[in-house]
């Protein structure tokens, strides 16, 4: 089963689906948020759906939102595929590269991506995203890490390169935190179904043309390694979102034009669903 949130921004209905039937989670929880995840909510919801204890929900015509409530933190790993590090002009890193996005960047997988005024270097980045389920601090090993991950989703770490690189003065967050810059979804897929997140094909397209095509097995630091290492630098809280890095094939490579108004960005990860975002100017 997978988890999703349906309805208009800010008032999404939490739901679970087996791919055929969708059930309303509101008898169990007001939202798919940190407290719900930390209280083993995903497993309880799957059991309740299987037992016929939840009302069915007709998703027809409903917007698909991000599959989790607004997180307290969006933590990103940079340069985590060797070929992407090279196309960005860097050597593969010896430790995780960490930066932040504002949590209000998270939007649904079919919502518009809004170009900042004057932007000519807005870029796409398909990423495997991990959602923290239980608090993680000073973990001793990667072997302990996956037990703290509730599930996975597809993220687009949209990036404005001039602000990220030329106007950043060394930190990247200026180019990463514009409104709508983190489409997420369509589903939260429980860790029990995904395992460690490796071995999944990951891809992006712009206007139907291939951009990125890789495998999550090419991550330099896999999800367990990332969660372990992050927990040595910060306390990871339930509901926190971790973008694990993007493979090669972004506009920054110089091989493709950056995004322009009217472009259609499609991306996805094997078994985890697809995004389709239209690029529009911010009004």
Extract the tokens encoding 7.
């309805």
Write out the binding residues for Mn ion, residues 167-206 only, by CB under 5 A: none
266 lines the binding site for Mn ion (CB under 5 A): no
- Nearest approach in angstroms of CB 16 to Mn ion is 29
Class of residue 27 by CB neighbours under 10 A (exposed 0-12, middle 13-18, buried 19+): exposed
Nearer to Mn ion, 125 or 248 (CB): 125
Piece of the chain touching Mn ion by CB under 5 A; list 59-67, 217-225, 233-241, 245-253: 245-253
CA 120 to chain centre: 24
Please work out the total of residues on this chain that contact Mn ion, with binding judged by CB under 5 A.
3
* 31 binding Mn ion? (CB under 5 A): no
Q: How far is the CB of 202 from Mn ion (least distance, A)?
A: 12
Among positions 12, 46, 125, 263, the unique one binding Mn ion when judged by CB under 5 A: 125
Rounded CA-CA distance 180/197 in Å is 25
Q: How far is the CB of 125 from Mn ion (least distance, A)?
A: 4
Give, in degrees to the nearest 5, the angle at Cα 214 between 212 and 90: 75
Provide, rounded to whole angstroms, the least separation between the CB of residue 278 and Mn ion. 21
By CB under 5 A, residue 123 contacts Mn ion = no
Cβ density class 243-269: b for 16+ within 10 Å, e for less: bbbbbbbbbbbeebebbeeebebbbbb
Integer Cα distance of 85 and 80 in angstroms: 7
Q: Which residue is nearest to Mn ion (CB)?
A: 157
Tokens of 56: 């069915």
Is 122 one of the binding residues for Mn ion (CB under 5 A)? no
User: Which of the ranges 62-70, 122-130, 143-151, 206-214 carries the binding residues for Mn ion, by CB under 5 A?
Assistant: 122-130
Instruction: Summarize as ranges the residues that interact with Mn ion (CB under 5 A).
Output: 125, 157, 246
């Amino acid at each position: 089963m997978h988890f999703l949130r349906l309805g208009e921004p800010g008032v999404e209905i939490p739901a679970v689906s087996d791919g055929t039937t969708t059930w309303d989670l509101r008898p169990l929880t007001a939202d798919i948020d940190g407290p719900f995840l930390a209280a083993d909510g995903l497993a309880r919801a799957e059991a309740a759906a299987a037992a016929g204890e939840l009302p069915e929900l007709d998703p027809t015509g409903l917007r698909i939102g991000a599959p989790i409530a607004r997180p307290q933190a969006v933590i990103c790993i940079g340069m985590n595929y060797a070929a992407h590090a090279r196309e960005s002009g860097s050597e593969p890193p010896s430790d995780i590269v960490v930066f932040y996005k504002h949590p209000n960047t998270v939007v649904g997988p079919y919502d518009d991506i809004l170009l900042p005024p004057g932007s000519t270097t807005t870029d796409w980045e398909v990423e495997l995203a991990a959602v923290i389920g239980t608090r993680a601090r000073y973990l001793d090993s990667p072997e302990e890490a996956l037990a703290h991950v509730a599930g996975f989703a597809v993220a687009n770490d949209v990036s404005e390169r001039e602000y990220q690189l030329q106007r950043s003065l060394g930190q990247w967050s200026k180019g990463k935190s514009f409104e709508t810059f983190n489409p997420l979804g369509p589903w939260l897929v429980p860790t029990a179904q995904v395992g460690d997140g490796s071995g999944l094909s990951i891809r992006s397209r712009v206007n139907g043309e291939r951009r990125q095509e890789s495998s999550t097995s090419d991550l330099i630091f896999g999800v367990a390694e990332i969660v372990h290492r992050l927990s040595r630098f910060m306390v990871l809280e339930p509901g926190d979102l971790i973008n694990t890095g993007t493979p090669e094939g972004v506009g920054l490579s110089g091989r493709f034009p950056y995004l322009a108004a009217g472009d259609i960005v499609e991306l996805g990860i094997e078994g985890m669903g697809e995004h389709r975002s239209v690029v529009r100017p911010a009004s």
